[in-house]
Amino acid sequence: MKYIPKNIERVIEEFSKMPGIGPKSAERLTFYLLKKTESDIRNIGDTISKLKEGIKYCEICKNLTTETKCAICEDSSRNQSTICIVEDVLDLIALEKANEYKGAYHVLHGLISPVEGIGPDELTITDLVDRVQNNDIKEVIIGLNPSMEGEATASYIMRFIKPLNVRVTRIARGIPVGGDLEYADSQTLKRALEGRLEY
Amino acid sequence: MKYIPKNIERVIEEFSKMPGIGPKSAERLTFYLLKKTESDIRNIGDTISKLKEGIKYCEICKNLTTETKCAICEDSSRNQSTICIVEDVLDLIALEKANEYKGAYHVLHGLISPVEGIGPDELTITDLVDRVQNNDIKEVIIGLNPSMEGEATASYIMRFIKPLNVRVTRIARGIPVGGDLEYADSQTLKRALEGRLEY
């Protein structure tokens, strides 16, 4: 693209590399930014530059934080004896937005996936087991995706958690709210029936 | 979102403001960046910060450039006596990618739109008329969208260009390649018939 300045081309390139952004969207985003003032653009650039500044894993739950412990582990109003295991921080955010769960988390930062070469040692499973073993944990909720990797990871974790005599639950699988029974797959329907509750 | 660090929240916010990016995509983009090294992230931030650095309008065609004239106006291998009028730089990029047109451009930076309060004076129409008047221009191609604003802008421009005795053409309106005649609206079909060419 020699017909537009290099600065602009570079930003289009960066956007194109991002997931779900095609070349046309990348151009559109870049020209959206170009309509802003230079100082606004610099602020956005700075905000992105600082994204990872001082970010580390919470020493307890492996959520992201700038302190030693994350805001959730520090929050004494939350039930710290219940741990919900999630794949990544995006899942934690989704659960927090539902505004229902008031316990703690444990972020695995991935799922066991032989295809992608991710073994249990790449995840934070050892920390989880230590945490359950050495603290007064009453319940562990498995909040992993109902995918093959999610199931495999859940059963791997169970091997270590089960002997510790803690209540273990998993989030319900069933018809999503607003979903259509007619279009649900048979595995989902099976789980929905198994998990039925009193009316 | 007090459960994640402020730095991260700010980046999610910036992405959310961009066109076509919802809150979920904004989170996904941010966490895509978080997987990169701090120095990679800083590079991306810097690239964005520098987006508008030294960018100005080409004094001839109003394309974006860091020099006095843009790369297209400087290119002596292109036919500088043909001008294609486009709404914005995104349209110029789209035409350049088609790799068919080898003339010059004139970027209006908008269309006349009474609804949005954009009058002819906000656009680069005066510069265009001066350019056609004072240079050896053989053809002006109207490369504007076939929308109401595009048509209005085209006919406004024609008032000034027609008396200058230049050949004026407009890009063809018709069935897009890969499109379906059955689903084309009647205005498009009408234009497609009007614009038919010898087989």
Band (A113; pLDDT cuts 50, 70, 90): very high
Question: What residue segments make up the domains of chain B, in order of their start?
Answer: 6-49, 77-193
Model pLDDT, residue A110: 95
Band (A70; pLDDT cuts 50, 70, 90): very high
Band (A92; pLDDT cuts 50, 70, 90): very high
Question: What's domain B6-49's superfamily in CATH?
Answer: RecR Domain 1 (1.10.8.420)
Residue of chain A with shortest Cα separation from B5: A65
Give contacts of A54 with chain B, Cβ < 8 Å.
5, 7
Sequential pLDDT tens for chain B (199 residues): 678 899 999 999 999 999 999 999 999 999 999 999 999 999 999 999 999 999 999 999 999 999 999 999 999 999 999 999 999 999 999 999 999 999 999 999 999 999 999 999 999 999 999 999 999 999 999 999 989 999 999 999 999 999 998 999 999 988 888 888 888 888 888 888 888 888 8
Model pLDDT, residue A187: 87
Give contacts of B38 with chain A, Cβ < 8 Å.
52-53
Contact B47 A45 (CB under 8 A): yes
Contact B52 A46 (CB under 8 A): no
CA dist B68 and B59 (Å) reads 6
Model pLDDT, residue B1: 66
Check residue B99 and give left, alpha or beta (phi > 0: left; psi -120 to 50: alpha): left
Nearest to A90 among B3, B31, B44 (CB): B31
Mean residue pLDDT across chain A: 93
Predicted confidence (pLDDT) at residue A182 exceeds the cutoff of 90: no
What is the value of pTM for the model shown?
Answer: 0.84
Question: Chains A, B: CB contacts under 8 A, how many?
Answer: 165
Model pLDDT, residue A198: 83
Predicted confidence (pLDDT) at residue A10 exceeds the cutoff of 90: yes
For the segment A144-166, the average pLDDT, to the nearest whole number, is 93
Give contacts of B20 with chain A, Cβ < 8 Å.
25, 28-29
CB B104 within 8 A of CB B80: yes
Nearest to B45 by CA among A84, A41, A116: A41
Nearest to B93 among A27, A33, A72 (CB): A27
For the segment A16-21, the average pLDDT, to the nearest whole number, is 94
**Residue B12 to residues A32, A90, A142, Cα–Cα distance (Å):** 17, 12, 27
Contact A90 B8 (CB under 8 A): no
For the segment A31-36, the average pLDDT, to the nearest whole number, is 95
Counting Cα atoms < 13 Å in the Cβ hemisphere of A102 gives: 5
Residue of chain A with shortest Cα separation from B47: A11
What is A77-193's CATH number?
3.40.1360.10
How many angstroms separate the CA of residue B12 from the nearest CA in chain A?
Answer: 9
Q: Beta-strand (E) ranges in chain A?
A: 56-57, 64-65, 79-86, 103-107, 139-142, 167-170
Nearest to A3 among B28, B32, B96 (CB): B96
Predicted confidence (pLDDT) at residue A108 exceeds the cutoff of 90: yes
Give contacts of B6 with chain A, Cβ < 8 Å.
66
Predicted confidence (pLDDT) at residue A2 exceeds the cutoff of 80: no
The full length of chain A comes to: 199
ipTM: 0.85
Model pLDDT, residue B30: 96
CA dist B41 and A36 (Å) reads 22
